[in-house]
Amino acid sequence: MRMKKKILIICPFPQGVAAGQRLKYEQYFEHWRENGYDIEVSSFMDVRMWRIVYTKGNYLGKIFGTLRGYCRRISHISCASQFDLVYVFMWVTPFGSSFFERVLRSLSRRLVYDIEDNVWMETSNELNAIARFFKGVGKTKFLIEMADHVITSSPFLNNYCLGLNRNVSCTYISSSVDIKRFLPSNSFTNKGGVTIGWTGTFSSKIYLDLLRDVFIKLRERCDFKLLVIGNFQYELPGVDIEVVQWTKEREVEDMQRIDIGVYPLAVDDWVLGKSGLKAIQYMAFGLPTVATNIGTASSIIQHGENGWLVRSDDEWIAALEALVISPELRLRLGAAARATVVEKYSTSAIKSCYFEILEGITGN
């Protein structure tokens, strides 16, 4: 029996709450443990901070939450040498220079860097100035250049990382879902109406806003209900809309209420780094998905076969109207979508990608 290897996970958010963590590496912890790894998770935010970070105001709570985060970080950085592998997701600390990243690298025997989205790009957040600083350009580039292995969320990001450091090993690993949990339940009939659904957090609400005019115009052509699953309130006058606050406990049940999934994106460089997670989630439930034809979504969805790719408002309206009217079309695209996820984007299909990296880095 081999000695257990110790992994320190350095991540922004508490375990089990952020989709970018839950539907990437977190869901493989049990597999890693079963195969000889001990895991310790160090999140910068605690649950108290997570609950308020994307809300208006609460500045005192955010300040104290940030201070608590730095205290935890310093504590875990100081003992990094005790671990066989340090696994960093996104960044080590949110503010300032790459000082903490450099200290962690110097103390780590081996370091894997998991990068999501184009985190080196400057972004703004209309709700919270703090969130704007959660993506440090210098921090990201340092970790890409100095990691023993880089894991990326899109082919575009993979090429970018290789451009920074041709000597580092880079692996694109898609977001994935547990197909035993994300089960289809749609009856594919128009009895009781058709529900168009979107799920996401406040940070991605800007993409939902891109469809405001689409939904208003679509409402003039056919009947539908819009279901928004997130962590914020949302209004759209003239449209039958229901807003559900996301919870881990009701995630599956709420998404099973959707008949058509929408994945709108802006046509810009930022979204080229996105993993296409929303599309994968909808498709796992056997739902026809309409997505903006850009980035990773374009490789996940084959237009007209397992989903629908669009660019303009007119294309959005035409696609959604056709799907609302035809349950047969929804069934055909949805069945193909589910098959795609089972084959390429399920946890059973993806888990070996992570494990092979761990084994290679730790010398097994």
Asked whether residue 64 is domain-assigned, the answer is yes
pLDDT of residue 203: 83
Domain shared by 288 and 357, yes or no = no
Distances from the Cα of 85 to the Cα of 81, 158, 183, 344, 350, angstroms: 9, 21, 35, 28, 20
pLDDT of residue 124: 40
Domain shared by 19 and 159, yes or no = yes
pLDDT of residue 2: 67
pLDDT of residue 120: 54
Asked whether residue 151 is domain-assigned, the answer is yes
Give the model confidence (pLDDT) of 217-275 as tens digits. Answer: 999 999 999 999 998 899 999 999 999 999 989 999 999 999 999 999 999 888 888 89
pLDDT of residue 222: 97
Phi-psi bin for 67: left (phi > 0), alpha (psi -120 to 50), beta? alpha
Asked whether residue 182 is domain-assigned, the answer is no
Mean pLDDT throughout 147-169?
Answer: 89
Domain shared by 124 and 202, yes or no = no
3-state SS of the chain? CCCCEEEEEEECCCCCCCHHHHCCHHHHHHHHHHCCEEEEEEECCCHHHHHHCCCCCCHHHHHHHHHHHHHHHHHHHHCHHHCCEEEEECCCCCCCCCHHHHHHHHHCCCEEEEECCCCCCCCCCCCCHHHHCCCCHHHHHHHHHHCCEEEECCHHHHHHHHHHCCCCEEEECCCCECCCCCCCCCCCCCCCCCEEEEECCHHHHHHHHCCHHHHHHHHCCCCCEEEEEECCCCCCCCCCEEEEECCCCCHHHHHCCCCEEEECCCCCCHHHHCCCHHHHHHHHCCCCEEEECCCCHHHHCCECCCEEEECCHHHHHHHHHHHHHCHHHHHHHHHHHHHHHHHHHEHHHHHHHHHHHHHHHHCC
Nearest-CA neighbor of 37 among 3, 71, 13? 3
Domain shared by 83 and 158, yes or no = yes
Asked whether residue 282 is domain-assigned, the answer is yes
- Work out the burial of residue 150: count CB atoms within 10 Å of its CB; fewer than 13 is exposed, 13-18 middle, 19 or more buried: buried
Asked whether residue 333 is domain-assigned, the answer is yes
Domain shared by 202 and 297, yes or no = yes
Domain shared by 141 and 258, yes or no = no
Domain shared by 212 and 165, yes or no = no
Domain shared by 264 and 165, yes or no = no
Asked whether residue 291 is domain-assigned, the answer is yes
> Domain residues for 113?
5-176+347-362
The total number of structural domains that make up the chain: 2
The CATH number covering residue 136 comes to 3.40.50.2000
Domain shared by 59 and 81, yes or no = yes
Identity of the residue numbered 91: W
Give the model confidence (pLDDT) of 66-85 as tens digits. Answer: 999 999 999 999 999 999 99
Identify the weakest region by mean pLDDT among 157-161, 251-255, 305-309. 157-161
Residue 134 has pLDDT above 80, yes or no: no
CB proximity list for 64: less than 8 A, separation 6 or greater: none
Domain shared by 44 and 59, yes or no = yes
Residue 348 has pLDDT above 50, yes or no: yes
Q: Is the dihedral of CA 43, 137, 158, 283 positive or negative?
A: positive
Domain shared by 170 and 32, yes or no = yes
Residue 123 has pLDDT above 60, yes or no: no
β-strands 289-292, 260-263 pairing: parallel
Asked whether residue 186 is domain-assigned, the answer is no
pLDDT of residue 184: 96
Residue 309 has pLDDT above 60, yes or no: yes
Asked whether residue 188 is domain-assigned, the answer is no
Domain shared by 137 and 224, yes or no = no
